Amino acid sequence: MVISVILDINDSANVISTGDNLLAVVRAIVDSELLADPAEYRHGHVIYFDFVGLFMVILPVRLGMLINVITVIFVMLRLAAKLLKSGSGEC
């Protein structure tokens, strides 16, 4: 199975700019002192995500799972409270 991606490229300057940005990122990663001894920075499995384009958040997997479980419990409690409230005749 072949997956093809079709890009509508209208502006070649935009493509060149994107390539220049990607090249700069790759060079910064390769030149990083973190790659000199990666074992020093090993913390097990981690979760990476971008927060609204402002900064990167790096969490251990256990903390990420805890945040997800707490969020699900909170949402379920709020939903149950709303359902009980609407079932009692109040809006």
Interval 26-71: pLDDT, tens? 898 888 887 777 777 676 788 888 888 888 888 888 998 999 999 9
Same domain, 33 and 49: no
Q: What is the model's pLDDT at position 10? A: 61
Q: What is the model's pLDDT at position 79? A: 96
φ and ψ at residue 7, rounded to 5 degrees: -110, 135
Which of 45 and 79 is assigned the larger pLDDT? Answer: 79
Q: What is the model's pLDDT at position 8? A: 53
List for the chain the helix, strand, coil content (%; round to 5).
Answer: 60, 15, 30
Same domain, 30 and 65: no
Same domain, 59 and 49: yes
Domain residues for 48? 43-91
What is the total count of domains within the chain? 2
- Would the pLDDT of 1 be above 50? no
